[in-house]
Amino acid sequence: LDVSRHFMPKEFVKKYIDLLALHKMNTFHWHLTDDQGWRLEIRKYPRLTEVGAWRKETLVGRHEKDPAKRVFDGERHGGFYTQDDVREIVAYAKARHITVVPEIEMPGHARAAIAAYPHLGVVDDTLEVLTVWADNQSILNAEMRTVEFMQDVLTETLQLFPSKFIHVGGDEAVKTLWKSSPRVQARMRELRINDEDELQSWFIRQMSVFLTKRGRRLVGWDEILEGGLPPSTTVMSWRGTRGGIAAARQGHDVIMAPSSHLYFDHYQSRDREGEPLAIGGFTPIDSVYAFEPVPRDLEARFAHHILGAQGQIWTEYIKGPKQVEYMAYPRMTALAEVLWTPKSRKDFAGFMQRMGTHAKRLEILDVGFRAVER
């Protein structure tokens, strides 16, 4: 659940966990930081929430490529979870047999952090927390001061989250500023690094070693494969399943999260006029149900590296709890059955018939789910 693009209240996060438990999901991946908001209190660096948790306004409607055509609401948006809030939520999840895995994005998707602490960035300009959903090239620099800053953040994160896995993002790190920065290029020469992909790999490796020494395991999106990885790193494959297949063949554990089947911020119907505005795509419930976490192309000897799969709720166009529920359910219900049912016993027609009864449960629980089309 992405709470960075749009902040979600603590009580709703608990309800979201209740619904995961209802569907026998055992892990809650909590996307806490991004360009549009930093949501986790870090006591050593208070400006992360004093500044980074708030943006001056939010884009209204579709993200237009032409900045002159963009419309904003003019309303300050934000919020964050105190460390006490986090402890409460983690304990709440544990009581329901759910592990909470936090995500702290790096080195890209770091605009909110750089807005709070400009020395983390590549350029000297003071930036604002991002108010749009794209067009961002902000990226952390690769100086040891910045590495140590992010490790300080992880130190406090580890104190709050006992999970074995800690997610550090690693996706969509636009390296344009690295390529054009004399300071970054000098740093690469100092480290004897040949290109920017390798520099990202070096950055991620610093975090992996840090986490491994503390008995944890790093998880990152599949872009982290591009410069090489330490053996203990786990890959979350979102750009289809190819990244997951490559990672498994290299001996890495994998969580499948392909946008083609498991991005629940996509439209649920081809009739977009009758649906809430979404980021795009088309992921109907039958596509979710058809997904198989272990790809056919993956050799059987590597299949044990596929730990499971995950449904994503990115909230660029999802402003509040009821819309989260509408986008998540019943697609999350379909994913739960996919993950708990042997392939030979999957039956989409039977699932849809049973959804009639399950829909009544969701109604009683006041879940704003999308009615299934049968």
3-state helix, strand, coil in the chain (%, to 5): 45, 15, 45
Q: Is 245 left (phi over 0), alpha (psi -120 to 50) or beta?
A: alpha
Question: Both tokens of residue 345?
Answer: 């016993």
Of 6, 29, 109, 261, the catalytic one is 109
Q: What per-residue string of b and e applies to 151-188 under the rule 16 or more CB within 10 Å gives b?
A: eebbebbbebbebebbbbbbebbebebbeebeebeebb
Annotation says 6 is catalytic:
no
Using DSSP's 3-state secondary structure scheme, residue 181 falls into coil
The residue ranges of DSSP E strands in 170-216, in sequence order, are: none
Non-local CB neighbours of 123 within 8 Å, separated by 6+ positions: 177, 181
H or E stretch at 169 = strand 165-169
SS3 17: helix
**208: enclosing H helix or E strand:** helix 196-213
Is-catalytic flag, 109? Answer: yes
232: left (phi over 0), alpha (psi -120 to 50) or beta: alpha
| 256, β-bridge pairs | 237, 309
Q: Could you tell me which residues are beta bridge partners of residue 221?
A: 236
CA distance 141 to 120: 6
11: annotated active-site residue: no
Distance between CA atoms of residues 36 and 343, nearest Å? 39
Which helix (H) or strand (E) is 276 found in, with range?
none
Q: Which of 18, 172, 226, 292 is catalytic?
A: 172
Distance CA 345, CA 363 (A): 27
Of 34, 105, 196, 337, the catalytic one is 34
Amino acid at 88: E
* Residue whose pair of structure tokens reads 């998880």 in the numeric block: 219
Tokens of 262: 């498991």
Residues involved in catalysis? 34, 109, 172
